[in-house]
């Protein structure tokens, strides 16, 4: 079942560190089957509040691979390049299996 690393970005300072981070992050994803699905881009907040800088979503084959990527030495090496210059909420979340229907969660009860 796929899993996702998601970041709600509140602020980002574009500087040499963030450029270096962006140049190096793709190589950290490869070993864990990660790929960007959303990287900022155009968005509209239709309910609630959202970080002004947008959303980042990276897909992994499963939760274990997503977690292994985040804690890997390769990613941990570049992480300070981002965290010194970006404010974001970051989570790792399980996806749902193919054919999942939200209402089926309550069919068992």
Query: What strand order describes the sheet that includes 35-39?
Result: 35-39, 54-60, 3-12, 86-94
List of the chain residues with pLDDT < 70: 51, 105, 108-109
All structural domains of the chain: 3-94 (3.30.70.100)
pTM over the 0.85 mark = yes
pLDDT in tens, 45-57: 888 887 677 899 9
């Amino acid at each position: 079942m796929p899993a996702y690393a998601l970041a709600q970005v509140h602020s980002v300072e574009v500087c040499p560190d963030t450029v270096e981070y962006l140049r190096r992050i793709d190589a950290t994803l490869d070993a864990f089957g990660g790929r960007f699905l959303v990287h900022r881009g155009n968005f509209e907040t239709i309910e609630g509040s959202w970080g002004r800088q947008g959303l980042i979503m990276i897909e992994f084959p499963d939760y274990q691979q997503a977690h292994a990527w985040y804690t890997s030495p390769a990613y941990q090496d570049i992480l300070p390049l981002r965290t010194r210059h970006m404010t974001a909420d970051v989570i790792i979340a399980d996806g749902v299996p193919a054919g999942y229907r939200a209402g089926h969660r309550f069919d068992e009860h």
